[in-house]
Amino acid sequence: MSGKTREDEKEDEKKGLNTLPMAVLNAIQNPVILVNESGLVAFANWEAEAFFGASSNYLAKHDISAFIPFGSPLLTLIDQVRERRAPVNEYRVDLSSPRLGADKLVDLYVAPVLSEPGSVVVVFQERSMADKIDRQLTHRAAARSVTGLASMLAHEIKNPLSGIRGAAQLLETSVNDEDRALTRLICDETDRIVSLVDRMEVFSDERPVDRVPVNIHSVLDHVKAVAKAGFARKIRITENYDPSLPPVYANRDQLVQVFLNLIKNAAEAVADRPEGEIMLTTAYRPGIRLSVAGTREKISLPLEFCVHDNGPGVPSDLVPHLFDPFITTKTNGSGLGLALVAKIIGGHGGIVECDSQNHRTTFRVLMPASKGTSAEDSEPMTIKGQS
Protein backbone atom coordinates (compact mmCIF):
# COMPACT_ATOMS: atom_id res chain seq x y z
CA MET A 1 0.00 0.00 0.00
CA SER A 2 1.46 3.34 -1.03
CA GLY A 3 -0.97 5.54 0.95
CA LYS A 4 -1.27 7.96 -1.98
CA THR A 5 -4.24 10.33 -2.12
CA ARG A 6 -5.89 11.38 -5.35
CA GLU A 7 -4.04 14.70 -5.03
CA ASP A 8 -0.73 12.84 -4.83
CA GLU A 9 -1.62 10.86 -7.95
CA LYS A 10 -2.48 14.05 -9.82
CA GLU A 11 0.86 15.53 -8.76
CA ASP A 12 2.60 12.40 -10.08
CA GLU A 13 0.77 12.76 -13.37
CA LYS A 14 2.08 16.33 -13.69
CA LYS A 15 5.62 15.07 -13.08
CA GLY A 16 5.18 12.24 -15.58
CA LEU A 17 5.65 9.56 -12.92
CA ASN A 18 2.69 7.40 -13.93
CA THR A 19 4.52 5.90 -16.90
CA LEU A 20 5.24 2.25 -17.58
CA PRO A 21 8.81 2.45 -16.16
CA MET A 22 7.40 3.90 -12.95
CA ALA A 23 4.82 1.12 -12.80
CA VAL A 24 7.63 -1.41 -13.14
CA LEU A 25 9.62 0.22 -10.32
CA ASN A 26 6.55 0.26 -8.10
CA ALA A 27 6.08 -3.46 -8.74
CA ILE A 28 9.59 -4.24 -7.40
CA GLN A 29 9.46 -5.55 -3.85
CA ASN A 30 12.68 -3.80 -2.85
CA PRO A 31 12.90 -0.12 -1.86
CA VAL A 32 14.28 1.93 -4.78
CA ILE A 33 15.07 5.66 -4.67
CA LEU A 34 16.61 8.21 -7.01
CA VAL A 35 18.85 10.78 -5.34
CA ASN A 36 19.50 13.82 -7.53
CA GLU A 37 22.66 15.94 -7.70
CA SER A 38 21.36 18.15 -4.87
CA GLY A 39 20.89 15.17 -2.56
CA LEU A 40 17.09 15.28 -2.72
CA VAL A 41 15.09 12.08 -3.06
CA ALA A 42 13.69 12.77 -6.53
CA PHE A 43 11.84 9.44 -6.75
CA ALA A 44 10.82 6.66 -4.38
CA ASN A 45 8.85 3.56 -5.30
CA TRP A 46 6.07 2.26 -3.08
CA GLU A 47 8.37 -0.08 -1.17
CA ALA A 48 10.69 2.86 -0.45
CA GLU A 49 7.75 4.86 0.89
CA ALA A 50 6.98 2.01 3.27
CA PHE A 51 10.68 1.61 4.18
CA PHE A 52 11.13 5.31 5.07
CA GLY A 53 7.60 5.76 6.41
CA ALA A 54 6.95 8.80 4.18
CA SER A 55 5.29 9.59 0.85
CA SER A 56 7.38 10.22 -2.25
CA ASN A 57 6.21 13.85 -2.30
CA TYR A 58 7.47 14.33 1.25
CA LEU A 59 10.74 12.56 0.50
CA ALA A 60 11.28 14.79 -2.55
CA LYS A 61 11.38 17.88 -0.33
CA HIS A 62 14.24 16.63 1.84
CA ASP A 63 17.86 15.59 1.56
CA ILE A 64 18.55 11.86 1.80
CA SER A 65 20.64 12.53 4.93
CA ALA A 66 17.44 13.51 6.77
CA PHE A 67 16.16 9.94 6.60
CA ILE A 68 19.20 7.84 7.47
CA PRO A 69 21.45 7.72 10.55
CA PHE A 70 24.16 10.38 10.92
CA GLY A 71 27.42 9.33 9.29
CA SER A 72 25.81 6.41 7.46
CA PRO A 73 28.05 4.62 4.90
CA LEU A 74 25.27 5.19 2.36
CA LEU A 75 26.26 8.86 2.03
CA THR A 76 29.86 7.85 1.30
CA LEU A 77 28.70 5.32 -1.27
CA ILE A 78 26.62 7.94 -3.07
CA ASP A 79 29.65 10.25 -3.22
CA GLN A 80 31.84 7.42 -4.54
CA VAL A 81 29.37 6.54 -7.29
CA ARG A 82 29.10 10.18 -8.36
CA GLU A 83 32.87 10.51 -8.50
CA ARG A 84 33.64 7.18 -10.25
CA ARG A 85 30.46 7.02 -12.31
CA ALA A 86 30.36 3.27 -11.67
CA PRO A 87 27.99 1.13 -9.57
CA VAL A 88 28.94 -0.05 -6.08
CA ASN A 89 27.61 -2.88 -3.86
CA GLU A 90 27.83 -2.80 -0.08
CA TYR A 91 26.60 -5.59 2.19
CA ARG A 92 25.15 -5.63 5.70
CA VAL A 93 24.86 -1.87 6.19
CA ASP A 94 23.13 -0.95 9.44
CA LEU A 95 20.49 1.77 8.93
CA SER A 96 18.82 1.27 12.31
CA SER A 97 17.49 4.49 13.80
CA PRO A 98 14.48 5.77 15.76
CA ARG A 99 12.96 6.86 12.44
CA LEU A 100 13.49 3.64 10.46
CA GLY A 101 13.25 1.27 13.40
CA ALA A 102 15.54 -1.33 14.91
CA ASP A 103 17.28 -4.14 13.02
CA LYS A 104 17.37 -2.30 9.69
CA LEU A 105 20.27 -4.27 8.24
CA VAL A 106 20.39 -3.93 4.44
CA ASP A 107 22.45 -4.72 1.36
CA LEU A 108 22.90 -1.70 -0.92
CA TYR A 109 23.29 -1.34 -4.67
CA VAL A 110 24.14 2.21 -5.74
CA ALA A 111 24.45 3.06 -9.45
CA PRO A 112 24.84 6.29 -11.44
CA VAL A 113 22.14 7.56 -13.80
CA LEU A 114 24.27 8.50 -16.80
CA SER A 115 21.52 10.56 -18.44
CA GLU A 116 21.16 12.65 -15.26
CA PRO A 117 24.64 13.81 -14.14
CA GLY A 118 25.00 13.70 -10.35
CA SER A 119 21.95 11.48 -9.87
CA VAL A 120 22.20 7.97 -8.45
CA VAL A 121 19.80 5.08 -7.93
CA VAL A 122 19.86 3.26 -4.58
CA VAL A 123 18.34 -0.21 -4.20
CA PHE A 124 17.87 -1.58 -0.68
CA GLN A 125 17.76 -5.32 -0.01
CA GLU A 126 16.60 -5.90 3.55
CA ARG A 127 18.70 -8.61 5.15
CA SER A 128 15.67 -10.23 6.77
CA MET A 129 14.65 -11.50 3.32
CA ALA A 130 18.19 -12.43 2.31
CA ASP A 131 18.71 -14.27 5.59
CA LYS A 132 15.53 -16.28 4.97
CA ILE A 133 16.98 -17.45 1.66
CA ASP A 134 20.36 -18.19 3.26
CA ARG A 135 18.70 -20.24 5.99
CA GLN A 136 16.63 -22.15 3.45
CA LEU A 137 19.76 -23.16 1.54
CA THR A 138 21.56 -24.06 4.77
CA HIS A 139 18.69 -26.27 5.95
CA ARG A 140 18.59 -28.08 2.61
CA ALA A 141 22.35 -28.70 2.76
CA ALA A 142 22.03 -29.99 6.33
CA ALA A 143 19.25 -32.34 5.28
CA ARG A 144 21.40 -33.70 2.43
CA SER A 145 24.30 -34.35 4.79
CA VAL A 146 22.06 -36.29 7.17
CA THR A 147 20.63 -38.23 4.22
CA GLY A 148 24.07 -39.57 3.32
CA LEU A 149 24.89 -40.32 6.93
CA ALA A 150 21.59 -42.15 7.44
CA SER A 151 22.18 -44.41 4.44
CA MET A 152 25.67 -45.28 5.67
CA LEU A 153 24.48 -45.97 9.23
CA ALA A 154 21.67 -48.23 8.11
CA HIS A 155 24.08 -50.46 6.18
CA GLU A 156 27.19 -50.34 8.36
CA ILE A 157 25.68 -50.36 11.85
CA LYS A 158 22.32 -52.16 11.93
CA ASN A 159 23.63 -55.45 10.56
CA PRO A 160 26.47 -55.84 13.13
CA LEU A 161 24.11 -54.74 15.89
CA SER A 162 21.70 -57.55 15.12
CA GLY A 163 24.58 -60.00 15.52
CA ILE A 164 25.64 -58.47 18.83
CA ARG A 165 22.08 -58.60 20.15
CA GLY A 166 21.65 -62.22 19.05
CA ALA A 167 24.88 -63.24 20.78
CA ALA A 168 23.80 -61.48 23.98
CA GLN A 169 20.47 -63.32 23.94
CA LEU A 170 22.28 -66.66 23.60
CA LEU A 171 24.59 -65.83 26.50
CA GLU A 172 21.61 -64.81 28.63
CA THR A 173 20.41 -68.42 28.77
CA SER A 174 23.68 -69.79 30.12
CA VAL A 175 24.86 -67.22 32.70
CA ASN A 176 23.99 -66.57 36.32
CA ASP A 177 21.61 -63.87 37.49
CA GLU A 178 24.39 -61.33 38.11
CA ASP A 179 25.78 -61.67 34.57
CA ARG A 180 22.31 -61.83 33.08
CA ALA A 181 21.87 -58.16 33.99
CA LEU A 182 24.88 -57.37 31.80
CA THR A 183 23.51 -59.29 28.82
CA ARG A 184 20.19 -57.48 29.29
CA LEU A 185 22.11 -54.18 29.26
CA ILE A 186 23.75 -55.15 25.95
CA CYS A 187 20.34 -55.90 24.40
CA ASP A 188 18.83 -52.65 25.67
CA GLU A 189 21.71 -50.54 24.38
CA THR A 190 21.69 -52.19 20.94
CA ASP A 191 17.92 -51.60 20.76
CA ARG A 192 18.51 -47.93 21.60
CA ILE A 193 21.10 -47.57 18.82
CA VAL A 194 18.83 -49.31 16.31
CA SER A 195 16.01 -46.95 17.27
CA LEU A 196 18.28 -43.96 16.64
CA VAL A 197 19.33 -45.33 13.24
CA ASP A 198 15.68 -45.97 12.37
CA ARG A 199 14.91 -42.33 13.10
CA MET A 200 17.76 -41.23 10.87
CA GLU A 201 16.60 -43.49 8.03
CA VAL A 202 13.69 -41.10 7.56
CA PHE A 203 16.22 -38.64 6.10
CA SER A 204 17.25 -41.07 3.38
CA ASP A 205 13.73 -41.24 1.93
CA GLU A 206 14.05 -39.14 -1.25
CA ARG A 207 10.78 -40.18 -2.87
CA PRO A 208 8.63 -37.31 -4.22
CA VAL A 209 6.27 -35.91 -1.62
CA ASP A 210 2.61 -36.71 -2.34
CA ARG A 211 0.90 -33.34 -1.86
CA VAL A 212 -2.72 -32.24 -1.99
CA PRO A 213 -4.68 -29.18 -0.76
CA VAL A 214 -4.73 -29.46 3.04
CA ASN A 215 -6.72 -27.49 5.62
CA ILE A 216 -3.98 -26.36 8.02
CA HIS A 217 -6.45 -25.68 10.82
CA SER A 218 -7.62 -29.30 10.67
CA VAL A 219 -3.98 -30.37 11.02
CA LEU A 220 -3.35 -28.03 13.94
CA ASP A 221 -6.55 -29.11 15.72
CA HIS A 222 -5.50 -32.76 15.35
CA VAL A 223 -1.98 -32.05 16.65
CA LYS A 224 -3.38 -30.04 19.56
CA ALA A 225 -5.68 -32.92 20.51
CA VAL A 226 -2.75 -35.35 20.47
CA ALA A 227 -0.63 -32.99 22.55
CA LYS A 228 -3.37 -32.34 25.13
CA ALA A 229 -3.89 -36.07 25.51
CA GLY A 230 -0.20 -36.65 26.21
CA PHE A 231 2.91 -34.50 26.62
CA ALA A 232 1.05 -31.14 26.89
CA ARG A 233 -1.72 -32.33 29.18
CA LYS A 234 -1.10 -29.59 31.77
CA ILE A 235 -0.12 -26.79 29.39
CA ARG A 236 -2.46 -24.12 28.08
CA ILE A 237 -2.62 -24.05 24.27
CA THR A 238 -4.41 -21.18 22.55
CA GLU A 239 -5.07 -20.33 18.89
CA ASN A 240 -5.21 -17.19 16.80
CA TYR A 241 -6.22 -18.35 13.32
CA ASP A 242 -6.97 -16.50 10.10
CA PRO A 243 -10.15 -18.29 8.90
CA SER A 244 -9.81 -16.92 5.36
CA LEU A 245 -6.61 -18.85 4.57
CA PRO A 246 -6.61 -20.97 1.41
CA PRO A 247 -5.51 -24.62 1.70
CA VAL A 248 -1.80 -25.33 1.96
CA TYR A 249 -0.26 -27.51 -0.77
CA ALA A 250 1.28 -30.25 1.34
CA ASN A 251 1.34 -33.80 2.63
CA ARG A 252 -1.00 -33.95 5.63
CA ASP A 253 0.83 -36.72 7.52
CA GLN A 254 4.13 -34.90 7.20
CA LEU A 255 2.56 -31.65 8.42
CA VAL A 256 1.25 -33.50 11.47
CA GLN A 257 4.79 -34.75 12.13
CA VAL A 258 6.23 -31.23 11.75
CA PHE A 259 3.82 -29.56 14.16
CA LEU A 260 3.97 -32.41 16.66
CA ASN A 261 7.75 -31.86 16.83
CA LEU A 262 7.38 -28.07 17.16
CA ILE A 263 4.65 -28.23 19.80
CA LYS A 264 6.55 -30.92 21.74
CA ASN A 265 9.62 -28.64 21.77
CA ALA A 266 7.46 -25.76 22.99
CA ALA A 267 5.85 -27.94 25.67
CA GLU A 268 9.26 -29.00 26.98
CA ALA A 269 10.37 -25.35 27.03
CA VAL A 270 7.44 -24.21 29.22
CA ALA A 271 6.99 -27.39 31.27
CA ASP A 272 8.52 -25.90 34.43
CA ARG A 273 6.75 -22.53 34.19
CA PRO A 274 3.49 -22.15 36.15
CA GLU A 275 2.20 -19.68 33.54
CA GLY A 276 3.53 -21.66 30.59
CA GLU A 277 1.54 -21.18 27.39
CA ILE A 278 1.74 -22.24 23.76
CA MET A 279 0.00 -20.24 21.03
CA LEU A 280 -0.70 -21.46 17.50
CA THR A 281 -1.21 -18.76 14.85
CA THR A 282 -1.89 -18.71 11.12
CA ALA A 283 -1.72 -15.71 8.78
CA TYR A 284 -1.44 -14.66 5.16
CA ARG A 285 1.90 -12.92 4.44
CA PRO A 286 2.35 -12.25 0.69
CA GLY A 287 5.67 -11.13 -0.71
CA ILE A 288 8.30 -13.85 -0.48
CA ARG A 289 9.14 -16.11 -3.45
CA LEU A 290 11.66 -18.94 -3.30
CA SER A 291 12.76 -21.77 -5.58
CA VAL A 292 11.50 -25.32 -5.05
CA ALA A 293 14.21 -27.83 -4.20
CA GLY A 294 15.32 -29.76 -7.27
CA THR A 295 13.41 -27.67 -9.80
CA ARG A 296 13.59 -24.29 -11.50
CA GLU A 297 10.09 -23.42 -10.35
CA LYS A 298 9.65 -20.38 -8.14
CA ILE A 299 6.70 -20.28 -5.80
CA SER A 300 5.13 -17.80 -3.47
CA LEU A 301 5.14 -18.63 0.24
CA PRO A 302 2.26 -16.55 1.58
CA LEU A 303 1.04 -18.93 4.28
CA GLU A 304 2.57 -18.40 7.72
CA PHE A 305 2.05 -20.93 10.52
CA CYS A 306 3.64 -20.22 13.90
CA VAL A 307 4.17 -22.01 17.21
CA HIS A 308 4.86 -19.50 20.01
CA ASP A 309 5.85 -20.26 23.59
CA ASN A 310 6.78 -18.16 26.62
CA GLY A 311 9.62 -20.40 27.73
CA PRO A 312 13.15 -19.23 28.59
CA GLY A 313 14.16 -18.94 24.92
CA VAL A 314 16.94 -20.42 22.80
CA PRO A 315 20.55 -19.27 23.39
CA SER A 316 21.42 -16.66 20.74
CA ASP A 317 24.57 -18.52 19.66
CA LEU A 318 22.50 -21.66 19.00
CA VAL A 319 19.71 -20.07 16.90
CA PRO A 320 21.64 -20.02 13.56
CA HIS A 321 22.40 -23.77 13.91
CA LEU A 322 19.13 -24.90 15.47
CA PHE A 323 18.00 -26.90 12.41
CA ASP A 324 21.35 -28.62 11.89
CA PRO A 325 21.44 -32.34 12.83
CA PHE A 326 22.64 -33.30 16.33
CA ILE A 327 22.17 -29.75 17.67
CA THR A 328 20.07 -29.78 20.83
CA THR A 329 19.66 -28.06 24.20
CA LYS A 330 18.10 -31.15 25.79
CA THR A 331 20.10 -33.41 28.08
CA ASN A 332 18.87 -36.60 26.42
CA GLY A 333 17.96 -35.14 23.02
CA SER A 334 19.26 -36.57 19.74
CA GLY A 335 19.12 -33.27 17.83
CA LEU A 336 17.19 -34.84 14.94
CA GLY A 337 13.68 -33.46 15.55
CA LEU A 338 14.22 -29.97 14.15
CA ALA A 339 16.50 -31.28 11.41
CA LEU A 340 13.60 -33.49 10.30
CA VAL A 341 11.25 -30.47 10.42
CA ALA A 342 13.66 -28.55 8.16
CA LYS A 343 13.87 -31.49 5.73
CA ILE A 344 10.10 -31.89 5.47
CA ILE A 345 9.39 -28.18 5.03
CA GLY A 346 12.28 -27.83 2.55
CA GLY A 347 10.87 -30.77 0.59
CA HIS A 348 7.63 -28.81 0.29
CA GLY A 349 9.50 -25.78 -1.06
CA GLY A 350 8.95 -23.86 2.18
CA ILE A 351 11.16 -22.47 4.90
CA VAL A 352 11.20 -22.71 8.69
CA GLU A 353 12.89 -20.27 11.04
CA CYS A 354 13.19 -19.49 14.72
CA ASP A 355 12.97 -16.11 16.44
CA SER A 356 13.85 -16.28 20.12
CA GLN A 357 14.08 -13.69 22.85
CA ASN A 358 13.80 -13.94 26.61
CA HIS A 359 10.43 -15.53 27.46
CA ARG A 360 9.29 -15.54 23.83
CA THR A 361 10.20 -18.10 21.16
CA THR A 362 8.51 -18.40 17.77
CA PHE A 363 8.95 -21.15 15.21
CA ARG A 364 7.65 -19.78 11.90
CA VAL A 365 6.80 -21.98 8.91
CA LEU A 366 6.25 -20.33 5.50
CA MET A 367 4.60 -22.53 2.86
CA PRO A 368 2.90 -22.33 -0.55
CA ALA A 369 -0.85 -22.19 -0.97
CA SER A 370 -2.61 -24.87 -2.97
CA LYS A 371 -2.11 -24.24 -6.69
CA GLY A 372 -4.67 -21.93 -8.25
CA THR A 373 -5.87 -20.43 -4.96
CA SER A 374 -5.22 -17.24 -3.06
CA ALA A 375 -6.44 -15.67 0.13
CA GLU A 376 -8.91 -13.63 -1.87
CA ASP A 377 -10.53 -16.30 -4.02
CA SER A 378 -10.53 -19.30 -1.70
CA GLU A 379 -13.33 -20.54 0.48
CA PRO A 380 -12.68 -19.74 4.14
CA MET A 381 -11.41 -22.64 6.19
CA THR A 382 -13.68 -24.00 8.89
CA ILE A 383 -12.00 -23.82 12.27
CA LYS A 384 -13.02 -24.85 15.74
CA GLY A 385 -13.72 -22.35 18.46
CA GLN A 386 -10.63 -20.81 19.95
CA SER A 387 -9.70 -21.54 23.53
**In one letter, which amino acid is 162?**
S
Could you tell me the strand order of the sheet in which 105-112 lies? 41-44, 32-35, 120-126, 105-112, 88-94
What is the per-residue pLDDT for 263?
Answer: 94
Angle 82-83-89 from CA coordinates, rounded to 5°: 65
Q: What is the pLDDT along the chain (387 residues), one digit of tens a residue?
A: 444 555 555 555 544 445 777 778 777 778 899 999 999 998 888 888 888 888 888 888 888 888 888 888 888 899 999 988 888 888 878 887 777 776 677 888 999 998 888 999 999 987 665 565 555 555 555 555 555 555 656 656 777 787 888 888 888 888 887 788 888 888 888 887 777 666 655 555 556 678 899 999 999 999 999 899 888 888 999 999 998 899 998 989 889 989 999 999 999 889 878 888 999 999 987 655 555 445 555 567 789 999 999 988 887 777 767 776 555 555 454 556 788 888 888 888 888 888 887 788 999 998 888 765 544 333 344 434 333
CB 335 within 8 A of CB 326: yes
Coil, strand or helix at 247: coil
**Which pairing describes strands 277-284 and 236-240: parallel, antiparallel, or unpaired?**
parallel
Say which CATH class 212-367 falls into. Answer: alpha beta
What is the per-residue pLDDT for 9?
Answer: 52
Domain ranges for the chain: 6-126, 130-204, 212-367
**In one letter, which amino acid is 255?**
L
What is the per-residue pLDDT for 382?
Answer: 40
Helix 127-156 with 158-172: angle, nearest 10 deg: 50
Residue 55 to residues 10, 215, 374: CA-CA distances in angstroms? 14, 39, 29
CB 147 within 8 A of CB 203: yes
What is the per-residue pLDDT for 112?
Answer: 92
CATH 2.30.30.140 for the 6-126 domain, yes or no: no
Distance CA 379, CA 386 (A): 20
Coil, strand or helix at 80: helix
What is the per-residue pLDDT for 383?
Answer: 39
Residue 51 has φ and ψ, to the nearest 5°, of -65, -45
